């Protein structure tokens, strides 16, 4: 298949593009470089454009079989300060993409959704039919887009897979691509920044939760496991499979302290770190029930937390060396 990958110059999209290529699909990356990086899109056909630009999109979609839509804004805190930015990009511009796909006859669509659609869950692990009660505009914007896809399926024949990621982590084993967010709000790259001196210390938000060591539990999933699930989801649609919504996680949780200990073991030294107050809106435990994805796609996340940390560390080191030359 020839696949348009929006947001393919970003962290997860660049891994999705490589996973598609490894399976023999053709990839065209479509990105406006808002938060993306040219180095992550290297080696791919590239169209620079905004998903809200129907004219450029219609030309880009001419010979395309399917779309993987990673492009979005995804900083929870920023979405609270500036919800307009999130609804404009994640919903408004996203709808331009969806409409242009329908008009151009592109009916296979894979969407990057998020565990943020569940808000503070009543029970864990979280299954797909658990209540959807986002607690921030980012989560609302992603849920709104899911509702649009659910309405477009019976009306226009759009077939979609909405993939709700839990905590994406790690990097491709090559060390060539990885996580480059600015500001970095994710635990593992933020901790590695504190290891290299790029940030003064790692802040741990709260150690008084009802968990074994008092810190929050999250479901970390290796980005290459995520990327492979995208390819399988697409192939499922191509084989005539129906639209669906799938959680992507491992089903196993790690506390923040466990992640920090793993990082310290992998890099061989202690991190500068400090316990600070809880961050508003952080549930104590978020865990996926990934059984629907396993059943439907024959997929299972296989990579360990150790592999996530080691691959992220390799990317950080290679990048700092390359910048030093």
Contact footprint for ligand NAD (CB under 6 A): 6-7, 9-13, 31-36, 50-52, 70-72, 74, 89, 93, 112, 114, 165, 167-168, 181
Residue 17: in which H helix or E strand, if any?
helix 11-22
CB atoms within 10 A of CB 77: 14
CB atoms within 10 A of CB 243: 17
DSSP letters along 166-225, please?
-EEE---TTSSS----SS--SHHHHHHHHHHTSSS-EEEE-S-SSSTTSS-EE-EEEHHH
- Measured from the CB atom, the residue of 183 and 277 that comes closer to ligand NAD is 183
- Measured from the CB atom, the residue of 9 and 28 that comes closer to ligand NAD is 9
Do the Cβ atoms of 32 and 60 come closer than 8 Å? no
- Measured from the CB atom, the residue of 112 and 136 that comes closer to ligand NAD is 112
- Measured from the CB atom, the residue of 21 and 37 that comes closer to ligand NAD is 37
Active site residue 138: yes
Phi, psi of 244 (to 5 degrees): -160, 170
Query: 47-62: buried (b, 16+ CB within 10 Å) or exposed (e) per residue?
Result: bebbbbbeebbeebbe
Distance (Å, whole) CA 76 – CA 70: 16
Q: Please pick, among 138, 152, 165, 220, the residue that the annotation labels catalytic.
A: 138
User: How near is the Cβ of 183 to ligand NAD at its closest, in Å?
Assistant: 11
Residues involved in catalysis: 138
């Amino acid at each position: 298949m020839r696949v348009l990958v929006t947001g393919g110059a970003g962290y997860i999209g660049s891994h999705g593009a490589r996973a598609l290529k490894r399976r023999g699909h053709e990839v065209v990356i479509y990105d406006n470089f808002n938060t993306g990086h040219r180095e992550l899109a290297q080696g791919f056909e590239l169209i620079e454009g905004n998903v809200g630009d129907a004219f450029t999109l219609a030309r880009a979609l001419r010979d395309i079989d399917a779309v993987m839509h990673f492009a979005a804004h995804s900083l929870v805190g920023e979405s609270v300060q500036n919800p307009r930015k999130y609804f404009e990009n994640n919903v408004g511009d996203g709808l331009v993409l969806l409409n242009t796909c329908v008009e151009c006859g592109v009916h296979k669509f894979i969407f990057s959704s998020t565990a943020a659609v569940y808000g503070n869950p009543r029970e864990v692990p979280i299954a797909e039919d658990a209540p959807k009660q986002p607690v921030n505009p980012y989560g609302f914007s992603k849920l709104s887009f899911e509702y649009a896809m659910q309405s477009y399926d019976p009306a226009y024949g759009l077939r979609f897979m909405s993939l709700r990621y839990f905590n994406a982590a790690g990097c491709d084993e090559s060390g060539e691509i990885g996580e480059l967010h600015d500001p970095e709000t994710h635990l593992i790259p933020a901790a590695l920044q504190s290891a290299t001196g790029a940030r003064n210390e790692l802040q741990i938000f709260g150690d008084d939760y009802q968990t074994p060591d008092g810190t929050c539990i999250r479901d970390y999933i290796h980005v290459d496991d995520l990327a492979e699930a995208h390819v399988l989801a697409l192939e499922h649609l191509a084989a005539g499979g129906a639209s669906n919504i799938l959680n992507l996680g491992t089903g196993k949780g790690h506390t923040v302290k466990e992640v920090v200990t793993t990082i310290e073991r992998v890099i061989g030294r202690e991190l500068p770190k400090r316990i600070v107050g809880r961050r508003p809106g952080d549930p104590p435990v978020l865990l996926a029930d990934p059984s629907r994805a396993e059943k439907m796609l024959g997929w299972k996340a296989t990579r360990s937390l150790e592999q996530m940390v080691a691959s992220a560390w390799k990317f950080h080191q290679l990048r700092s060396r390359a910048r030093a030359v």
